Amino acid sequence: MGRGYGFANRDIVSIRSFTREEIDYILEVSGTMEPLVEKGSDMLRGKVLAELFFEPSTRTMLSFQTAMYKLGGSVIGFAEPGVSSVWKGESLADTVRVVESYSDVIVLRHPLEGAARFAAEYARVPVINAGSGAEEHPTQALLDLYTIMKSKGRIDGLNIVLMGDLRYGRTVHSLAYALSLYDVKLRLVSPDLLKMRREVIEDIKDRIEVSEHTDLADVLLDADVLYVTRIQKERFPDLGEYEKVRGSYAVNLDVLKRAKEDLIVLHPLPRVDEVAVEVDSTPFAKYFEQARNGVVVRMALLALVLGAVE
Protein backbone atom coordinates (compact mmCIF):
# COMPACT_ATOMS: atom_id res chain seq x y z
CA MET A 1 0.00 0.00 0.00
CA GLY A 2 1.06 3.58 0.27
CA ARG A 3 -0.28 5.67 -2.55
CA GLY A 4 1.33 8.87 -1.41
CA TYR A 5 -1.71 10.58 0.04
CA GLY A 6 0.55 12.25 2.55
CA PHE A 7 -1.41 11.44 5.69
CA ALA A 8 1.61 11.84 7.97
CA ASN A 9 1.16 14.85 10.26
CA ARG A 10 -2.21 15.65 8.79
CA ASP A 11 -4.97 17.07 11.00
CA ILE A 12 -8.36 15.36 10.89
CA VAL A 13 -10.66 18.27 11.63
CA SER A 14 -13.37 17.94 9.01
CA ILE A 15 -14.41 15.06 6.80
CA ARG A 16 -14.77 17.68 4.07
CA SER A 17 -11.03 17.88 3.61
CA PHE A 18 -10.90 14.30 2.32
CA THR A 19 -11.45 13.05 -1.22
CA ARG A 20 -13.29 9.84 -1.94
CA GLU A 21 -10.01 8.16 -2.87
CA GLU A 22 -8.52 9.15 0.48
CA ILE A 23 -11.56 7.88 2.38
CA ASP A 24 -11.49 4.60 0.45
CA TYR A 25 -7.82 4.29 1.34
CA ILE A 26 -8.52 4.87 5.06
CA LEU A 27 -11.20 2.14 4.92
CA GLU A 28 -8.72 -0.19 3.23
CA VAL A 29 -6.04 0.47 5.87
CA SER A 30 -8.71 -0.08 8.57
CA GLY A 31 -9.31 -3.55 7.13
CA THR A 32 -5.60 -4.35 7.45
CA MET A 33 -5.82 -3.50 11.16
CA GLU A 34 -8.37 -6.26 11.87
CA PRO A 35 -5.77 -9.02 12.56
CA LEU A 36 -3.75 -6.63 14.75
CA VAL A 37 -6.66 -6.27 17.18
CA GLU A 38 -5.93 -9.87 18.18
CA LYS A 39 -2.18 -9.96 17.67
CA GLY A 40 -1.20 -6.44 18.66
CA SER A 41 1.65 -4.54 17.04
CA ASP A 42 4.49 -2.27 18.05
CA MET A 43 4.12 0.04 15.11
CA LEU A 44 3.48 3.05 17.40
CA ARG A 45 5.86 2.11 20.20
CA GLY A 46 7.21 5.20 21.93
CA LYS A 47 4.39 7.39 20.59
CA VAL A 48 2.06 9.24 22.94
CA LEU A 49 -1.56 10.13 22.26
CA ALA A 50 -3.04 13.01 24.31
CA GLU A 51 -6.80 12.92 24.74
CA LEU A 52 -8.41 16.23 25.65
CA PHE A 53 -12.09 15.60 26.29
CA PHE A 54 -14.03 18.69 27.31
CA GLU A 55 -17.29 16.74 26.87
CA PRO A 56 -18.40 13.29 28.00
CA SER A 57 -17.51 10.27 25.89
CA THR A 58 -17.47 6.52 26.20
CA ARG A 59 -16.87 4.96 22.80
CA THR A 60 -14.77 7.62 21.14
CA MET A 61 -12.40 8.07 24.06
CA LEU A 62 -12.03 4.40 24.91
CA SER A 63 -11.72 3.20 21.34
CA PHE A 64 -8.95 5.74 20.64
CA GLN A 65 -7.19 4.46 23.77
CA THR A 66 -7.63 0.83 22.75
CA ALA A 67 -6.41 1.65 19.23
CA MET A 68 -3.27 3.29 20.59
CA TYR A 69 -2.52 0.41 23.01
CA LYS A 70 -3.08 -2.23 20.31
CA LEU A 71 -0.41 -0.51 18.20
CA GLY A 72 2.05 -0.35 21.08
CA GLY A 73 1.67 3.35 21.94
CA SER A 74 0.68 5.14 25.15
CA VAL A 75 -2.12 7.48 26.16
CA ILE A 76 -2.32 10.54 28.40
CA GLY A 77 -5.15 13.02 28.84
CA PHE A 78 -8.25 14.09 30.69
CA ALA A 79 -12.02 13.87 30.48
CA GLU A 80 -13.72 16.67 32.30
CA PRO A 81 -17.30 17.21 31.23
CA GLY A 82 -17.90 20.29 33.35
CA VAL A 83 -15.18 22.36 31.84
CA SER A 84 -17.17 23.83 28.95
CA SER A 85 -18.46 26.83 30.87
CA VAL A 86 -14.95 28.03 31.64
CA TRP A 87 -13.85 27.93 28.06
CA LYS A 88 -11.74 30.91 27.00
CA GLY A 89 -9.98 31.14 23.66
CA GLU A 90 -6.61 31.54 25.25
CA SER A 91 -6.92 28.70 27.68
CA LEU A 92 -7.54 26.17 24.93
CA ALA A 93 -4.62 27.58 22.95
CA ASP A 94 -2.39 27.35 25.99
CA THR A 95 -3.56 23.84 26.84
CA VAL A 96 -2.78 22.73 23.31
CA ARG A 97 0.64 24.38 23.38
CA VAL A 98 1.53 22.59 26.58
CA VAL A 99 0.09 19.24 25.62
CA GLU A 100 1.81 19.14 22.24
CA SER A 101 5.14 19.17 24.00
CA TYR A 102 4.14 15.96 25.81
CA SER A 103 2.59 14.09 22.91
CA ASP A 104 2.77 13.06 19.25
CA VAL A 105 -0.92 13.40 18.42
CA ILE A 106 -3.87 15.15 20.09
CA VAL A 107 -7.48 13.92 20.07
CA LEU A 108 -9.86 16.71 21.08
CA ARG A 109 -13.56 16.75 21.91
CA HIS A 110 -15.07 20.11 22.69
CA PRO A 111 -18.57 21.61 22.96
CA LEU A 112 -17.73 24.56 20.72
CA GLU A 113 -17.87 24.46 16.95
CA GLY A 114 -14.53 25.38 15.47
CA ALA A 115 -12.61 24.21 18.54
CA ALA A 116 -10.75 21.46 16.69
CA ARG A 117 -9.81 23.78 13.84
CA PHE A 118 -8.58 26.33 16.37
CA ALA A 119 -6.50 23.72 18.20
CA ALA A 120 -5.08 22.41 14.93
CA GLU A 121 -3.86 25.88 14.07
CA TYR A 122 -1.93 26.09 17.32
CA ALA A 123 -0.56 22.58 17.53
CA ARG A 124 2.49 21.37 15.68
CA VAL A 125 1.41 17.77 16.22
CA PRO A 126 -1.63 16.42 14.32
CA VAL A 127 -5.02 17.14 15.88
CA ILE A 128 -7.89 14.71 15.44
CA ASN A 129 -11.40 16.08 15.98
CA ALA A 130 -13.38 13.73 18.23
CA GLY A 131 -16.48 15.94 18.10
CA SER A 132 -16.74 19.73 17.83
CA GLY A 133 -20.09 20.89 19.18
CA ALA A 134 -22.92 20.14 16.77
CA GLU A 135 -20.60 20.65 13.84
CA GLU A 136 -18.63 17.52 12.96
CA HIS A 137 -17.38 14.14 14.13
CA PRO A 138 -15.21 12.96 11.24
CA THR A 139 -13.79 9.77 12.76
CA GLN A 140 -17.32 8.59 13.57
CA ALA A 141 -18.28 9.11 9.90
CA LEU A 142 -15.32 6.97 8.85
CA LEU A 143 -16.33 4.13 11.14
CA ASP A 144 -19.92 4.47 9.94
CA LEU A 145 -18.74 4.07 6.34
CA TYR A 146 -16.51 1.17 7.33
CA THR A 147 -19.50 -0.56 8.93
CA ILE A 148 -21.68 -0.02 5.85
CA MET A 149 -18.91 -1.33 3.61
CA LYS A 150 -18.36 -4.37 5.82
CA SER A 151 -22.05 -5.25 6.08
CA LYS A 152 -23.09 -4.46 2.52
CA GLY A 153 -19.87 -4.94 0.57
CA ARG A 154 -20.33 -1.52 -1.03
CA ILE A 155 -21.54 2.01 -0.42
CA ASP A 156 -22.44 2.96 -4.00
CA GLY A 157 -25.99 2.24 -5.05
CA LEU A 158 -27.47 2.20 -1.55
CA ASN A 159 -30.54 4.02 -0.22
CA ILE A 160 -29.51 5.53 3.06
CA VAL A 161 -31.87 7.03 5.64
CA LEU A 162 -30.57 9.35 8.37
CA MET A 163 -33.18 9.76 11.08
CA GLY A 164 -33.47 11.65 14.36
CA ASP A 165 -31.73 14.82 15.44
CA LEU A 166 -30.22 16.00 12.19
CA ARG A 167 -29.84 19.53 13.47
CA TYR A 168 -27.73 19.14 16.59
CA GLY A 169 -26.27 15.71 15.86
CA ARG A 170 -22.70 16.15 14.66
CA THR A 171 -22.25 12.57 13.47
CA VAL A 172 -24.93 12.99 10.79
CA HIS A 173 -23.28 16.16 9.47
CA SER A 174 -19.94 14.45 8.91
CA LEU A 175 -21.67 11.34 7.57
CA ALA A 176 -23.80 13.30 5.09
CA TYR A 177 -20.72 15.08 3.74
CA ALA A 178 -18.86 11.76 3.44
CA LEU A 179 -21.76 9.96 1.76
CA SER A 180 -22.07 12.73 -0.79
CA LEU A 181 -18.79 11.48 -2.28
CA TYR A 182 -20.51 8.16 -3.11
CA ASP A 183 -23.33 7.29 -5.45
CA VAL A 184 -26.11 7.04 -2.84
CA LYS A 185 -29.64 8.31 -2.32
CA LEU A 186 -29.91 10.10 0.98
CA ARG A 187 -33.24 10.40 2.81
CA LEU A 188 -33.39 12.68 5.83
CA VAL A 189 -36.14 11.94 8.36
CA SER A 190 -36.74 14.25 11.32
CA PRO A 191 -39.33 16.46 12.97
CA ASP A 192 -39.34 19.97 11.49
CA LEU A 193 -37.57 21.30 14.54
CA LEU A 194 -34.62 18.99 14.01
CA LYS A 195 -34.11 19.20 10.26
CA MET A 196 -30.64 18.97 8.76
CA ARG A 197 -28.82 22.28 8.68
CA ARG A 198 -29.30 24.18 5.43
CA GLU A 199 -25.60 24.63 4.84
CA VAL A 200 -25.05 20.87 4.85
CA ILE A 201 -27.86 20.25 2.37
CA GLU A 202 -26.68 23.10 0.15
CA ASP A 203 -23.24 21.60 0.12
CA ILE A 204 -24.24 18.06 -0.85
CA LYS A 205 -27.34 18.44 -3.02
CA ASP A 206 -25.46 18.97 -6.26
CA ARG A 207 -23.58 15.72 -5.83
CA ILE A 208 -26.28 13.32 -4.64
CA GLU A 209 -30.05 13.00 -4.47
CA VAL A 210 -31.26 14.25 -1.07
CA SER A 211 -34.85 14.39 0.16
CA GLU A 212 -36.39 15.47 3.46
CA HIS A 213 -39.26 13.74 5.25
CA THR A 214 -41.02 13.86 8.58
CA ASP A 215 -42.30 10.29 8.42
CA LEU A 216 -40.07 7.20 8.28
CA ALA A 217 -42.84 5.23 6.56
CA ASP A 218 -42.29 7.35 3.41
CA VAL A 219 -38.79 5.99 2.88
CA LEU A 220 -38.43 2.78 4.87
CA LEU A 221 -39.61 0.35 2.19
CA ASP A 222 -36.55 0.51 -0.06
CA ALA A 223 -33.99 1.60 2.53
CA ASP A 224 -30.71 -0.36 2.75
CA VAL A 225 -29.32 1.52 5.74
CA LEU A 226 -31.26 3.20 8.56
CA TYR A 227 -28.97 5.42 10.64
CA VAL A 228 -30.72 6.56 13.80
CA THR A 229 -29.50 9.26 16.17
CA ARG A 230 -30.25 10.39 19.68
CA ILE A 231 -31.97 13.69 20.28
CA GLN A 232 -29.11 15.86 21.51
CA LYS A 233 -30.88 17.22 24.55
CA GLU A 234 -27.76 18.94 25.84
CA ARG A 235 -27.56 21.16 22.74
CA PHE A 236 -31.14 22.45 22.87
CA PRO A 237 -31.23 26.15 23.63
CA ASP A 238 -34.71 25.71 25.15
CA LEU A 239 -35.73 22.51 26.97
CA GLY A 240 -39.40 23.24 26.27
CA GLU A 241 -38.55 22.68 22.62
CA TYR A 242 -36.90 19.41 23.57
CA GLU A 243 -40.05 18.24 25.35
CA LYS A 244 -41.99 18.71 22.11
CA VAL A 245 -39.83 16.28 20.18
CA ARG A 246 -38.58 13.75 22.72
CA GLY A 247 -39.53 10.22 21.92
CA SER A 248 -40.89 11.22 18.51
CA TYR A 249 -38.84 8.75 16.50
CA ALA A 250 -38.59 5.19 17.64
CA VAL A 251 -37.55 2.05 15.79
CA ASN A 252 -39.00 -1.22 17.04
CA LEU A 253 -39.91 -4.64 15.64
CA ASP A 254 -43.28 -3.42 14.51
CA VAL A 255 -41.77 -0.59 12.46
CA LEU A 256 -39.17 -2.95 10.97
CA LYS A 257 -41.86 -5.31 9.63
CA ARG A 258 -42.09 -2.96 6.67
CA ALA A 259 -38.35 -2.90 6.02
CA LYS A 260 -36.25 -4.89 3.55
CA GLU A 261 -34.96 -8.12 5.03
CA ASP A 262 -31.36 -7.03 4.65
CA LEU A 263 -31.79 -3.51 6.02
CA ILE A 264 -29.11 -2.60 8.54
CA VAL A 265 -29.82 -0.33 11.50
CA LEU A 266 -26.92 1.83 12.65
CA HIS A 267 -26.66 4.24 15.60
CA PRO A 268 -23.55 6.09 16.79
CA LEU A 269 -24.68 5.40 20.38
CA PRO A 270 -25.47 6.22 23.14
CA ARG A 271 -29.14 5.49 22.50
CA VAL A 272 -31.90 6.67 24.73
CA ASP A 273 -35.16 5.27 23.35
CA GLU A 274 -34.78 5.67 19.59
CA VAL A 275 -34.05 1.99 18.99
CA ALA A 276 -35.99 -0.49 21.12
CA VAL A 277 -33.89 -3.10 22.92
CA GLU A 278 -35.96 -5.80 21.20
CA VAL A 279 -34.18 -4.90 17.93
CA ASP A 280 -30.75 -5.79 19.37
CA SER A 281 -31.08 -9.52 18.80
CA THR A 282 -32.27 -9.22 15.18
CA PRO A 283 -30.02 -9.31 12.09
CA PHE A 284 -30.98 -5.65 11.47
CA ALA A 285 -28.94 -4.47 14.44
CA LYS A 286 -25.40 -3.47 13.53
CA TYR A 287 -24.80 -0.71 16.09
CA PHE A 288 -22.69 -2.70 18.53
CA GLU A 289 -20.56 -4.00 15.69
CA GLN A 290 -20.34 -0.39 14.52
CA ALA A 291 -18.96 0.65 17.92
CA ARG A 292 -16.46 -2.21 17.74
CA ASN A 293 -15.33 -1.05 14.29
CA GLY A 294 -14.29 2.23 15.91
CA VAL A 295 -11.13 0.50 17.11
CA VAL A 296 -9.75 -0.58 13.72
CA VAL A 297 -10.68 2.69 12.04
CA ARG A 298 -8.94 4.68 14.79
CA MET A 299 -5.93 2.33 14.61
CA ALA A 300 -5.72 3.15 10.91
CA LEU A 301 -6.03 6.91 11.51
CA LEU A 302 -3.36 6.95 14.22
CA ALA A 303 -1.00 4.81 12.12
CA LEU A 304 -1.52 7.13 9.14
CA VAL A 305 -1.13 10.51 10.85
CA LEU A 306 1.86 9.25 12.83
CA GLY A 307 3.49 8.02 9.64
CA ALA A 308 3.66 4.32 10.60
CA VAL A 309 1.58 3.47 7.54
CA GLU A 310 2.25 5.52 4.45
Summarize as ranges the residues that interact with ligand NCD (CB under 6 A): 59-60, 131, 137, 140, 170-171, 229-230, 232, 268-269
Nearest distance from C-beta of residue 232 to ligand NCD, angstroms: 6
Of the pair 140, 180, the CB lying nearest ligand NCD is at: 140
Of the pair 137, 187, the CB lying nearest ligand NCD is at: 137
Nearest distance from C-beta of residue 188 to ligand NCD, angstroms: 17
Question: Which three-class secondary structure string do you get for the chain?
Answer: CCCCCCCCCCCECCHHHCCHHHHHHHHHHHHHHHHHHHHCCCCCCCCEEEEEECCCCCHHHHHHHHHHHHCCCEEEEEECHHHHHHCCHHHHHHHHHHHHCCCCEEEEEECCCCHHHHHHHHCCCCEEEEEECCCECHHHHHHHHHHHHHHHCCCCCCEEEEECCCCCCHHHHHHHHHHCCCCCEEEEECCHHHCCCHHHHHHHCCCCEEEEECCCHHHHCCCCEEEECCCCHHHCCCHHHHHHHCCCCCECHHHHCCCCCCCEEECCCCCCCCECHHHCCCCCECHHHHHHHHHHHHHHHHHHHCCCCC
Of the pair 19, 58, the CB lying nearest ligand NCD is at: 58
Nearest distance from C-beta of residue 75 to ligand NCD, angstroms: 17
Nearest distance from C-beta of residue 21 to ligand NCD, angstroms: 26
Nearest distance from C-beta of residue 230 to ligand NCD, angstroms: 4
Nearest distance from C-beta of residue 97 to ligand NCD, angstroms: 26
Of the pair 150, 267, the CB lying nearest ligand NCD is at: 267
Of the pair 61, 259, the CB lying nearest ligand NCD is at: 61
Of the pair 59, 213, the CB lying nearest ligand NCD is at: 59
How far apart, in whole angstroms, are the C-alpha atoms of residue 141 and residue 64?
A: 15
Of the pair 137, 150, the CB lying nearest ligand NCD is at: 137
Cβ-proximal residues to 35 (8 Å cutoff; 6+ apart), any chain: none
Nearest distance from C-beta of residue 268 to ligand NCD, angstroms: 4
